[in-house]
Amino acid sequence: MDQSQVPMRAASFRFCWPFLLSALFLPACGTISPGDRSHVAVPESWKAARGAPADAETLAHWWRRMGDPVLDELITRALVNNFDIRTARSRIAEARARRSLETAAFFPSIGGSVSGRTDRSKNQGVVSESERYNAALDASWEIDLFGKQYQRRRAAGADYDQSVENFYATQVSLAAEVAQTYVTLRSAQQQMAIVEKNLKAREETVQLTRWRAEAGEGSELDAQQATSTLEQARGTLPTLRQTIRQSGNDLALLCGEPPGRLDARLARSRDLPETPGRLAIGIPADTLRQRPDIRAAEAGFIAAVARRRAAALERLPSLNLSGSIGVEALKAGRLPSPESTAASLLGSLSAPIFDAGRIRQNIRIASETEEQALIAYDRSILTALVEVENALIAIQESASRIVTLRRAIAAARQAEDLASQQYTAGLVDLLVVLEAQRTLLSLEEQLVTTRANQVTAHVQLYKALGGGWQPLSRS
């Protein structure tokens, strides 16, 4: 067969060209933003406090402001080795592959085949053989006539953006969780030091009551009461040791390490991390731009809108182009110079006529998914606003409580000294001394707890402001 004999579907091909041209000049859809449909009114300033403008670089490494090198090391380890971080990175790679998969749908699919056939026949004792070899290229291409594939690609791109923002949100949560666990450990260590110091005072009281009992100036009841309060205070040590060891194991897990790996690094007791004296909180609008969970919710909404649009475009016709070219030769070596060639090109336009409501229900499903994504976006904004306000309130109230407790501890410490002196002089009974010791121990423990709450409130504020994430290089 010569070239003039190549079969062509000319009529079908000419029929498809107008639709192909309309696809090429189809305008892109406008930018999708959930902010245009959000029902949340963002305030211009915070109710609980006013602060300096937020610095993105400072927020990215907020833990460095706390002056604790051990905390710096732990968070740095966790941001590299934590299992949630590694999983989030893998999800980014998965989303990138899915985005590339949708991009590939814009291009034609081309396949090739080579075949050979040998025929052998025998007629009246005469054997004859014939060979035939074929090679062909087949191509198919679905034209994105009305933008359906474009919307799917847009949804996949938004999914990728969401996976990146979820990775950033994981960084934010992880840094805060490491810091809070570290504060729990240091707080328990501080409380243990206070209890051990108080135990020495109570041991001296027990010894004093025994001496007085032996000298006939006291009673055995006093000695037993002093011993009881001593053992009661000593009974808190196992709980504190448990908290310290379990917190150390939790930190190891957060850092991707086996239990006990960090014990030597954490064994030495340190004071609680420092709290910055000046807050850089900016305005609510800054927080909404800084928080990756809000940006992730925005990307989720964009993906939902694109999928709803793609579902609606299922009602419109689809245009497919397919073609093939083949060659045939009597010998395999003659395929580059074949005896015959054949080519075909086909354009087809198809549209749904009856599907029992499948497309309509898919549109409804996609519309409800879009509405849920908008609700999630609104909720993420309100959650951010509430978290910042609550953290600011906690910082203010804990600072006020610390001032009060320090005054109370100073008075309680003086009261304990006076009670011990008066008991030694025989002016008061033992219960006054024991009550003074209990009061002092309780106040000192409350101070450590409140200081830990204050540090935790700062950590929660940095988390609420969206601090603790570092950008990735995007591809």
342: domain CATH number is 2.20.200
**What angle (nearest 5°) sits at the alpha carbon of residue 318, between those of residues 314 and 320?**
145
CATH code, 157: 1.20.1600.10
Report the percentage of the chain scoring pLDDT > 70: 90
Least confident of 22-36, 69-83, 414-428: 22-36
9 lies in some domain: yes
- The pLDDT value recorded for residue 210 is 85
Mean pLDDT of 244-272: 93
Alpha carbon distance 177, 166 (integer Å): 16
Alpha carbon distance 391, 467 (integer Å): 14
Could you give the C-alpha distances from 230 to 195, 200, 217, in angstroms and in order?
10, 9, 21
Contact call for residues 102 and 152 (beta carbons, < 8 A): yes
Alpha carbon distance 472, 475 (integer Å): 9
Output the six-digit token pair for 100.
Answer: 């590339």
Q: Which of 26-40, 160-174, 320-334 has the highest mean pLDDT?
A: 160-174
Is pLDDT at 216 greater than 70 in this prediction?
yes
Is pLDDT at 99 greater than 50 in this prediction?
yes
Q: Is 253 exposed, middle or buried (0-12, 13-18, 19+ CB in 10 A)?
A: middle
Residues 129 and 150 grouped into a single domain: no
- The pLDDT value recorded for residue 29 is 52
Q: Residue 229's CB: how many other CB atoms inside 10 A?
A: 21
Mean pLDDT of 415-419: 93
Least confident of 16-30, 55-69, 151-165, 430-444: 16-30
Is pLDDT at 24 greater than 80 in this prediction?
no
Residue pLDDT, tens place only, 299-308: 999 999 999 9
HEC letters along 50-64: CCECCCHHHHHCHHH
Residues 14 and 53 grouped into a single domain: no
242 lies in some domain: yes
Residues 38 and 97 grouped into a single domain: yes
- The pLDDT value recorded for residue 335 is 62
Residues 124 and 238 grouped into a single domain: no
- The pLDDT value recorded for residue 43 is 87
Least confident of 69-78, 228-237, 367-376, 440-449: 228-237
Quick check: helix, strand or coil at residue 1?
coil
Residues 131 and 169 grouped into a single domain: no
Report the percentage of the chain scoring pLDDT > 90: 53
Contact call for residues 432 and 422 (beta carbons, < 8 A): yes
Q: How confident is the model at residue 21 (pLDDT cuts 50, 70, 90)?
A: very low
Could you give the C-alpha distances from 448 to 182, 407, 455, 458, 475, in angstroms and in order?
14, 14, 11, 16, 48
Cβ within 8 Å of residue 36, ≥6 positions away? none
Quick check: helix, strand or coil at residue 278?
coil
Residues in the chain: 475
DSSP state of 280: B
- The pLDDT value recorded for residue 333 is 65
- Helix axis angle, 430-464 relative to 148-214, nearest 10°? 170
Domain count, the chain: 2
**What angle (nearest 5°) sits at the alpha carbon of residue 472, between those of residues 469 and 475?**
155
Contact call for residues 23 and 144 (beta carbons, < 8 A): yes
- The pLDDT value recorded for residue 382 is 95
Output the six-digit token pair for 323.
Answer: 């073609």
Alpha carbon distance 238, 254 (integer Å): 24
Output the six-digit token pair for 392.
Answer: 């600011």
Cβ within 8 Å of residue 395, ≥6 positions away? 49, 275, 279, 454, 457, 458, 461
pTM for the full predicted model: 0.85
469 lies in some domain: no
Contact call for residues 95 and 163 (beta carbons, < 8 A): yes
| Domain membership of residue 6 as a residue range | 1-21+107-143+323-350
More confident position, 19 or 225: 225
Mean pLDDT of the chain: 86
Residues 340 and 385 grouped into a single domain: no
475 lies in some domain: no
Is pLDDT at 27 greater than 70 in this prediction?
no
Is pLDDT at 239 greater than 90 in this prediction?
yes
Residues 82 and 155 grouped into a single domain: yes
Alpha carbon distance 81, 178 (integer Å): 13
Alpha carbon distance 428, 306 (integer Å): 81
Amino acid at site 222: D
Identify the residue whose tokens are 């000046």: 278
Q: Residue 104's CB: how many other CB atoms inside 10 A?
A: 10
- The pLDDT value recorded for residue 315 is 92
Q: Residue 248's CB: how many other CB atoms inside 10 A?
A: 22
- The pLDDT value recorded for residue 356 is 92
Alpha carbon distance 366, 352 (integer Å): 19
- The pLDDT value recorded for residue 30 is 59
Mean pLDDT of 365-377: 96
Cβ within 8 Å of residue 303, ≥6 positions away? 154, 155, 156, 158, 159, 162, 373
Residue pLDDT, tens place only, 181-204: 999 999 999 999 999 999 888 888
Residues 195 and 342 grouped into a single domain: no
Residues 57 and 199 grouped into a single domain: yes
Mean pLDDT of 63-70: 93
Is pLDDT at 171 greater than 60 in this prediction?
yes
Residues 44 and 136 grouped into a single domain: no
Mean pLDDT of 463-468: 93
Q: Is 470 exposed, middle or buried (0-12, 13-18, 19+ CB in 10 A)?
A: exposed
Per DSSP bridges, beta strands 340-350 and 126-143 are unpaired
Is pLDDT at 9 greater than 70 in this prediction?
no
Q: Which of 135-144, 230-239, 367-376 has the highest mean pLDDT?
A: 367-376
Is pLDDT at 255 greater than 60 in this prediction?
yes
Is pLDDT at 343 greater than 80 in this prediction?
yes
Is pLDDT at 150 greater than 90 in this prediction?
yes
Least confident of 116-120, 299-303, 341-345: 116-120
Is pLDDT at 8 greater than 60 in this prediction?
no
296 lies in some domain: yes
Residues 176 and 197 grouped into a single domain: yes
- The pLDDT value recorded for residue 15 is 39
304 lies in some domain: yes
Backbone angles phi, psi at 106, to 5 degrees: -75, -15
Mean pLDDT of 129-142: 84
26 lies in some domain: no
More confident position, 2 or 284: 284
Q: How would you list the strands of the sheet with 340-350, edge to edge? A: 109-123, 126-143, 318-329, 340-350
Residues 102 and 186 grouped into a single domain: yes
474 lies in some domain: no
Mean pLDDT of 11-39: 53
DSSP state of 416: H
More confident position, 325 or 185: 185
Alpha carbon distance 86, 79 (integer Å): 9
Is pLDDT at 330 greater than 70 in this prediction?
no
Least confident of 24-28, 155-159, 362-366, 410-414: 24-28
Q: How confident is the model at residue 278 (pLDDT cuts 50, 70, 90)?
A: confident
Quick check: helix, strand or coil at residue 357?
coil
